Structure 1
Amino acid sequence: MLVAEDDHISCYHIFPLRVPEEYRAAVCEFITRANYDLKYGNFEMDFNDGELRYKLLLTEHNFMQKDSVALANMKLLMFIGMQSWMRYGNSIVDIMFGKSDGKAVKDMVKQCEQAVE
């Protein structure tokens, strides 16, 4: 979902499932830990209804350029959001269904990343 503001465009990648109330604290812990390491964008969760999304911003400077540059920047927003869900989505689902907690999953993701490096 794209939302145009006065000086930026927000790009939201909304997760198709709602986080069950009993797992919202654990998911919140996980996304807080994940957000600390992210360079672009961040995860957000609505504690009221369990909506989970990934948000990126494109500033006015980046979208008020030539059409081809603006389009490339929009594609980059979509790609980064999809990559973030691919990287963290399975871990979030594990927490949502009670298979793990936020810290354990984040530690596991970090170990996998270090093994690849």
Structure 2
Amino acid sequence: MFSKEELNARVREYFEYADLHAAYDESRDVYLMLTSCSSKVGTLVIKMIVKDDLIIVIATCPTKVDTNDAEAMCRVAEYLHRATYGMKIGSFDFDFNDGEAQFRTSLLVKDALPSNDMLGMLLATGPSMWTRYGDGFFNVAFMGADPKEAAESSSNEGLIALLESVLASKRAAEAEQKGDTSDDEAA
């Protein structure tokens, strides 16, 4: 098992490798960053929390549902529950106290420190889920869309292909940024 300090060092090493600019909030013991999302949700707040044997990533939608609109709150709760049903990696959370919605995923660390690919996938999962389900969230919360229909139109089919595509794009961008031509030389 690794110490929290070792996991934090590995996370900082990954941020440097991937050229990600995360701010560390010492008072809350969390890494923070912003990323764009190609849905109506727009920009997401990404929080990475490093525990003793666990890394948690939370992708939070900055647009909150009106807590005074009980009907919208119930529709969004149903939509996010339907969206989460059957997922194997992560889930949507919905806070009834303030109308905040987020996607949470985690990685249990036991025998080996996480690879760059594992950390990249962990960070990409939340934004990928918001890309997939964000328009439905927005339509249900603010346009009165039916939660069941919105969830069905954003089904889980092709999720692995989507995540693999995100990871491949990220790898290509990293290779281009670092001037890596190893793939070209192999061809």
TM-score, normalised relative to structure 2: 0.53
Partners of 2:60 and 2:127 in 1: CA distance? 10
Q: Which residue of 1 aligns with 2:56?
A: 10
Q: Distance in 1 between matches of 2:152 and 2:109?
A: 36
Written as runs of structure 1 = structure 2, the 5 A alignment for 1:96-115 is 96-110=141-155
If asked which structure has higher relative contact order (CA below 8 Å, sep 6+), I would say 1
- The counterpart of 2:139, out of the listed 91, 94, 102, is 94
Which of 53, 73, 84 aligns to 1:35? It is: 84
Question: Pick from 24, 29, 52: which aligns with 2:101?
Answer: 52
Distance (Å, rounded) in 1 between the aligned partners of 2:50 and 2:123 = 15
Q: Which amino acid aligns with 1:102?
A: P
Q: Which residue does 1:19 correspond to in 2?
A: 65
Q: Deviations over 1:68-114 (max 9, x none)?
A: x1x3211111111111111000000001113302112112334xx59
The whole-number CA distance in structure 1 between the counterparts of 2:124 and 2:153 is 24
> What is the rounded CA distance, in whole Å, between the counterparts of 1:106 and 1:72 in structure 2?
29
Q: Secondary structure at the match of 2:130?
A: helix
For residues 79 and 53 of structure 2, what CA distance do their matches in structure 1 show?
A: 31
Structure with a larger share of its residues in helix: 1
Max radius of gyration: which structure?
2
**RMSD between aligned alpha carbons?**
2.1
5+ long unaligned stretches in structure 2: 1-46, 159-187
- Runs ≥4 in structure 1, deviation > 6 angstroms? none
Name structure 1 gaps, 5 residues minimum.
none
Percent identity of paired positions between Structure 1 and Structure 2: 28
Distance 1:87 1:3 in 2: 24
Q: Give how far 1:50 is off.
A: 0.7
